[in-house]
Amino acid sequence: MAIRREIEFELEEPIQYAVDGGTSEATLVILKAPTTRNRRDCLFLKQQFLRALHEVSGEQDSKKKKTEEPEDETDTKEEEPDPEEVAILIGSSSVDLGEFFDRARALMCRGSAFIEGKVEMTTELFDRMSMEDSERMIGSYMVNFIVRSVLMKQKKASSKT
């Protein structure tokens, strides 16, 4: 599987942005893979994701032990997680969602997101996005760039058991 350097993200609710002396409506954001310039934000987000994953998997393990019901192994084929699953996982843990969102927002506004591939995302542009679009975009960035290796290792490990 090839490593992606950028992905396209479709906005469900378009935003207005300034370009070439006028305004235009954006429905597309190009997300670029992080560089070491963004390492502090990336490492923070990855650490928070791993904390959430550990907490949630620990809770699931203790629930399994209490119920002691065998798992249905007919449906063990796992697909790549989607951004909504990442958001649910983060929200299901003790991770500070406000801090997580603020760090992800900062990352998007430091050369990681480009409106229609032309204009670098700014905090003003980011703040024009709907909450749903911003959460989905952060989740998509997490899945495709920040925690991809963790998710792929987890997928391989779960397919062996």
Residue 80 has pLDDT above 90, yes or no: no
Residue 104 has pLDDT above 60, yes or no: yes
* Whole-Å CA distances, 119 to 24, 51, 109, 122, 135: 11, 34, 11, 9, 20
What percent of the chain stands above pLDDT 90? 57
Q: Given pLDDT bands bounded at 50, 70 and 90, which one contains residue 117?
A: very high
Amino acid making up residue 104: A
| Residues with Cβ within 8 Å of residue 96, at least 6 apart in sequence | none
Least confident range from 40-49, 74-83, 129-138, 150-159: namely: 74-83
Residue 27 has pLDDT above 80, yes or no: yes
Task: Determine the 3-state secondary structure of 4 from DSSP.
Answer: coil
Average pLDDT, the chain: 84
pLDDT digit string, tens, across residues 127-137: 999 999 999 99
Domain ranges of the chain: 1-14+41-56+80-150
Q: Given pLDDT bands bounded at 50, 70 and 90, which one contains residue 61?
A: low
- The DSSP string of 36-47 is GGGHHHHHHHHH
Q: Given pLDDT bands bounded at 50, 70 and 90, which one contains residue 58?
A: confident
Residue 47 has pLDDT above 80, yes or no: yes
5 within 8 A of 114, measured Cβ to Cβ: no
pLDDT digit string, tens, across residues 2-15: 678 999 999 999 99
CA 153 and chain centroid, separation: 17
List, in sequence order, the alpha helices (H) in 20-96. Answer: 39-67, 83-91
What pLDDT shows up at residue 74? Answer: 44
What pLDDT shows up at residue 76? Answer: 43
Residue 124 has pLDDT above 70, yes or no: yes
